[in-house]
Structure 1
Amino acid sequence: MEYLKLIRYQNLLFLALVQIFIKYGLFTSFGVETTLNNFGFSLLVMATLCIAAAGNIINDIYDVEIDKVNKPNKVLIGKKISERNSNRLFIILNIIGVAIGFYLSNVIGKPGFAALFIGISALLYLYASYLKGMLLIGNLLVSALVAMSLIIVALFDLLPIITPQNQAGQSAVFKILLHYALFAFSINFIREIVKDLQDINGDKKAGMNTLPIALGRKRTITIVFVLGVLITLGVVLYMYEHLYSQQILLLYFLFAIVAPLLYFCIKAWDANTPKEYGLLSKLLKFIMFLGICTIPLYRFITL
């Protein structure tokens, strides 16, 4: 159970669910041509999860001292799992993820795509060891990698099979996926800033240069509020442009996404304690989940 906590199994399950929704709730619903069969897709999910799990491990390894300040009761490495075993698991998971990525890239006839897995693995290591402490750079990077976990399904399943005859349909579905990737990036970026607010004490001790340390809590939570308002307006605009004739989807977006986002903005307006920051982080995670759950509903939209 400790090893499951180390790799953040809940987050990995959510990531797998997102990719399954994309493959079977978006691509299949619209009847677009795909490259990967069920086995190939399972391998893609496995490769993604292995590299993501390795990223979680290396992040914990570098954050031991920070976590001793921010969440001393949740520290695993050095207490329940040795650093040596953690490093071994990190290396093994990366090897498995990259090896599967190399195999899949050759199967679909795009051997250069193997570089994606190598690059993501390297970026996760750089994030944990160096970039995390740089102002906004770490926040932007990890949010971009979250978005990439959605886009990579299209790169392996849609792109290799695009022809002049099916390009319109493939491109339309890919565009929808890009909208979700942008949503995931935006929500995660705000959540990363909120987490920096939660972890400010440990980050200060470690010499980090996060937004709350650079600007202070009050200015940072104001930025969080503004970003929350902007993404709410973005979702409303998306509803107006794409869902105005789809009543079921419109109502779902309104009550399951816009309403929680408005509640988030209200709570963010005057949040100033770790407990309140924790609530904001959980709200964003919940909103992300509700947003991703709309993917299977796109079968009701006519392209």
Structure 2
Amino acid sequence: MIYFFKLIRWKNLLLIILAQLLIKYALLEPLKVDYGLDTALTPLGFILLVIATISIAAAGYIINDIEDVEADTINKPDSVIIGKQISEKSATNLFIILNIIGVVSGFLISRAVDKSAFFVLFIITSGLLYLYSTYLKRITLIGNIVIAGLVSLSILLVGIFDLIPVISDSNKSSQLFFLSLIKDYAIFAFMINLLRELVKDIEDTDGDYKMNIQSMPILLGRSRATKLVFILSLIPLMIIVFYLSNNLYKQPMAIGYVLILIVAPMIYSTIKLFNATHKKDYKHISTVLKLIMLTGVLSLLLFQFILLK
């Protein structure tokens, strides 16, 4: 069982669940009355949305590991699960089962909010994860952008399913305000995850080279790729500081939180990128970026105190 949880990247799935929970129950639900919000998702509907999201994400991790056995044997031999602890046949069956659960749950929740067309989001996500594992990740930057985009979508889904189906003339401004707020978090998730994907590519250069994956560090070399990612890491840092100064300048609690738990770690990871040379450096930076994602998600807890002032 422990290897199954490792295979589906249970820590990453918990972060997705946490993000969706906080958007629903720390942002939208506490502020419904004060802001005249309407929400479409019942508790059961929300559970179905979470199941659909994490099932498809878990299936994506499994197919990626199946396709990456040879590369992972080089990049991280101690972490290889397929063919050792879990057979490829069993992993393939799990991939199919989880996709079915995810797609069926997506269909049910789309019907429940009376937006059957939204069902296509789950089909597209499932298909893109398969294409990423088998083809897209071999194309420079495309695979990185796809994965970062899908992580971003997992955050947007709560707004799409909870707010859009019940937009009316009377609540339109409030619904769109909170949808825009969720969109800002999705953009943040996209930027941080894109950086993390690029850092992981630099870390995994040896195995990717053998698998003929045209990642950025293979095309440019580790040193040039590191410098480029260093420059790219300045972009989300500047955007967050700009957002902070323009939107939260009257909120000392929010400013303190963002500066200490988001901006400071981002500056740290940027400095580490500038000096990174060894595989362990990139692994460390990747871990810091994941922690920034966590603190970014946890900042959702602040809004019921900020917006109700």
Of the structure 1 ranges 90-99 and 25-34, higher mean CA displacement relative to structure 2 is found in: 25-34
- Residue 261 (1) aligns with residue 262 (2): no
The partner residue of 1:138 within 137, 143, 157 is: 143
- Match in the other structure for 1:186: 191
- Match in the other structure for 2:25: 24
Contact 1:26 1:296 in 2 (8 A): yes
Aligned-partner Cα distance in 2 for 1:122–1:49:
15
| 1:94-136 deviation line (CA, Å, top 9, x unaligned) | 0011011111111111111111111100000000000011000
Shift of 1:301: 2.9
The partner residue of 2:75 within 70, 74, 80 is: 70
| 1:137-179 deviation line (CA, Å, top 9, x unaligned) | 0000000000000111111111000001001111111111111
Of the structure 1 ranges 132-141 and 224-233, higher mean CA displacement relative to structure 2 is found in: 224-233
Aligned-partner Cα distance in 1 for 2:267–2:124:
37
Partner secondary structure for residue 34 of structure 1 = coil
Which aligned pairs between 1:165-244 and structure 2 lie closer than 5 A?
A: 165-244=170-249
Aligned-partner Cα distance in 1 for 2:109–2:297:
25
Report the residue type matching 1:293 in the other structure.
Answer: L
Where does structure 1 differ by over 2 angstroms across 4 or more consecutive aligned residues? 300-303
- Match in the other structure for 1:3: 4
| 1:13-45 deviation line (CA, Å, top 9, x unaligned) | 111011000001111132121001111101110
Contact 1:204 1:213 in 2 (8 A): yes
Contact 1:51 1:94 in 2 (8 A): yes
- Match in the other structure for 1:150: 155
Report the residue type matching 1:239 in the other structure.
Answer: L
The partner residue of 1:60 within 50, 65, 84 is: 65
Unpaired stretches in structure 1, ≥5 consecutive residues: none
Contact 1:246 1:301 in 2 (8 A): yes
Partner secondary structure for residue 76 of structure 1 = coil
Of the structure 1 ranges 229-238 and 203-212, higher mean CA displacement relative to structure 2 is found in: 229-238
Measured on the aligned residues, the alpha-carbon RMSD in Å equals 0.9
Report the residue type matching 1:133 in the other structure.
Answer: R
| 1:228-261 deviation line (CA, Å, top 9, x unaligned) | 2121111100101110001101110011111111
Partner secondary structure for residue 29 of structure 2 = helix
Partner secondary structure for residue 307 of structure 2 = coil
Partner secondary structure for residue 30 of structure 2 = helix
TM-score for both structures, normalised by structure 1: 0.98
Aligned-partner Cα distance in 2 for 1:245–1:92:
49
- Match in the other structure for 2:276: 271
Contact 1:44 1:104 in 2 (8 A): yes
Contact 1:69 1:201 in 2 (8 A): yes
Which aligned pairs between 1:84-95 and structure 2 lie closer than 5 A?
A: 84-95=89-100
Aligned-partner Cα distance in 2 for 1:276–1:103:
44
Contact 1:97 1:117 in 2 (8 A): yes
- Match in the other structure for 1:100: 105
Shift of 1:265: 1.1
TM-score for both structures, normalised by structure 2: 0.97
Shift of 1:302: 3.0
- Match in the other structure for 2:307: 302
